[in-house]
Amino acid sequence: MDRYIIISEHTAEDCRLAVKHFIQYHANFLTHFEWGCHDNDHHAYAIIEAESHENALMSVPPLFRGKAKAIKLVYFKPKEGKDVSHEKA
C-alpha cells in the first residue's frame, strides 16, 4: 500500500461541524487527523496508508470530501535524490 497525506479544508465557521462529522463518520479516523484550527489554519491533516487516491479520500466525511486532497508520498534515497524526475513511477 502507498502512503498519502490527506488535507481536508473547512472554514473557521465550520470547525465544530467538521469535527462533529469526523466523529460521526468514523470516530477512529478522528484520532488520525491533526487540526491546524488553533493556529487559524482550518485544515485537518492525516498520513494514512491506502491503495489509491480515491481510497485515501474515503477517510474524509462525505460533506468535506469534495474539498479534500490526497497526495501520494514517497521517500527518496540519497543516491536517487539528484536523479529524480517528475514522472510517475
| Predicted confidence (pLDDT) at residue 15 exceeds the cutoff of 70 | yes
Question: For residue range 28-49, what is the model confidence (pLDDT) as tens digits?
Answer: 666 789 999 999 999 999 999 9
| CA atoms of 3 and 62, how far apart (whole Å) | 21
Q: What pLDDT is stored for residue 85 in this prediction?
A: 61
DSSP state of 26: -
CB proximity list for 39: less than 8 A, separation 6 or greater? none
Sign of CA dihedral 58, 33, 28, 52: positive
| CA atoms of 66 and 77, how far apart (whole Å) | 34
| CA atoms of 17 and 10, how far apart (whole Å) | 9
pLDDT range class, residue 77, cuts 50, 70, 90: confident
Q: What pLDDT is stored for residue 25 in this prediction?
A: 79
Mean pLDDT in residue range 51-70? 95
Q: Where are the domains of the chain?
A: 2-75
Lowest mean pLDDT among 6-10, 27-31, 82-86: 82-86
